[in-house]
Amino acid sequence: MKSFKPGFYCLLIALAAGPGARADQADEWQLLPQAQVDSSGIFLDQIVSSPTATVVLPHLRLAPAPNLGQAASLSRRLITELAQKQASELFTTNWSGAAQVRVSRRTRQFSESDLIELLTATLQKEFVKDRGELELHLTRPWIKIQAPDETLTVKVSGLPPAGVCPNFMATCELWNGRELVGSWELGLRAELWRDVPVARSTLLRGEPVKDADISMERRDILIERDSYLNFPATDDSLEFTDNVPVGMPVLKRYVRLRPLILRGRVVDGVFQEGTLSISLKVEALQDGSLGQTVRVMNPKTRKELYGKVQNEQTVLIAL
């Protein structure tokens, strides 16, 4: 047999009685004229008021919650029947209050700021991740809607192949657990903020990166897409390939490994086959960094060859 507090017996005693019937030992319980609930269901303690603070009403689920935007009406008799399904051995005698209760969903206004907050968090977690801090703006005004006053989530689909862009369209679905609240096609404007290296003075071609006069500044990397995000400020093997004006971000294409061999320089070209090694002088036809394959030329035959840079003086000729 199920166990219930004495107050619950008093409540069920109150439910079935007519308005004039009373029991000396039972408090008068009142059915509320209206109540609001969440998606978890309609519970007894949400639709009945307790006359004294000493009695705690049981949190007994009577029925599913109505759909969003709809309402359900529960009469005294129906409430009694629903309650006795949970505790069939109980009977009721005393009752007061409304003849029936109108139950609706608890809602709140869902504003543009609410949408942007959820949408930004979703895109940041699922698409942007640690690339930067995302900011979103709607390209058209948002009309407030009534949404469940519960924990809401957003699902995003229909992104362009490039993902989050400065301007893009996306399909947004608003969910309350398994309940779909609404779906919209949204026009969005995005900014993705991150600290990037910016020249404080003119940076010259060939200047070592470790000596560069730069500062880290917050920029929108969706606009300045090629910015060097993980700038190796202390790497002495790198140099600039172009001049970088004051105030301009350092782009990836402006930095390269410092070449060990420069174009026009005469170096040793080495042929190796097993234990056999042949060396000759060749002219480098392009700059080359350690391990890079470059074009070289035999000055005597004018024949072009390819060699891998071994050090500042040697390239290994491919056979």
Is residue 74 domain-shared with residue 91, that is, in the same domain? Answer: yes
Among the candidates 164, 192, 220, a domain finishes at 192
Mean pLDDT by groups of 10 residues along the chain of 319 residues: 47 46 52 94 89 72 93 91 74 72 96 97 95 96 95 93 93 95 96 96 92 94 91 85 94 89 91 85 91 91 92 87
Is residue 25 domain-shared with residue 100, that is, in the same domain? Answer: yes
Residue 240 inside a domain? The answer is yes
Q: Could you tell me the CATH number of the domain that includes residue 48? A: 2.60.480
Euclidean distance between CA atoms 231 and 6, whole angstroms = 71
pLDDT at 276: 82
Its pTM stands at 0.73
pLDDT at 185: 96
Residue 253 inside a domain? The answer is yes
Cα distances (angstroms) measured from residue 189 to each of 116, 134, 154, 273: 11, 11, 18, 60
Is residue 206 domain-shared with residue 162, that is, in the same domain? Answer: no
Is residue 75 domain-shared with residue 138, that is, in the same domain? Answer: no
- Count how many domains the chain has: 4
Among the candidates 105, 139, 160, a domain finishes at 105
Among the candidates 257, 274, 297, a domain finishes at 257
Cα distances (angstroms) measured from residue 63 to each of 2, 102, 189, 194: 19, 13, 44, 51
Is residue 178 domain-shared with residue 116, that is, in the same domain? Answer: yes
Cα distances (angstroms) measured from residue 213 to each of 200, 206, 218: 6, 14, 17
Is residue 213 domain-shared with residue 231, that is, in the same domain? Answer: yes
Is residue 187 domain-shared with residue 241, that is, in the same domain? Answer: no
Euclidean distance between CA atoms 143 and 138, whole angstroms = 11
Q: Could you tell me the CATH number of the domain that includes residue 219? A: 3.90.1210
Residue 1 inside a domain? The answer is no
| E strand residue ranges, 149-265 | 153-157, 167-176, 179-199, 214-220, 238-240, 255-257
Which structural domain, as residue segments, surrounds residue 224?
194-257
pLDDT at 52: 66
Residue 184 inside a domain? The answer is yes
Q: Could you tell me the CATH number of the domain that includes residue 282? A: 2.30.30.760
Is residue 26 domain-shared with residue 101, that is, in the same domain? Answer: yes
Is residue 28 domain-shared with residue 65, that is, in the same domain? Answer: yes
Residue 235 inside a domain? The answer is yes
pLDDT at 127: 94
Is residue 223 domain-shared with residue 155, that is, in the same domain? Answer: no
Neighbours of 57 (CB within 10 A): 18
pLDDT at 20: 40
pLDDT at 232: 85
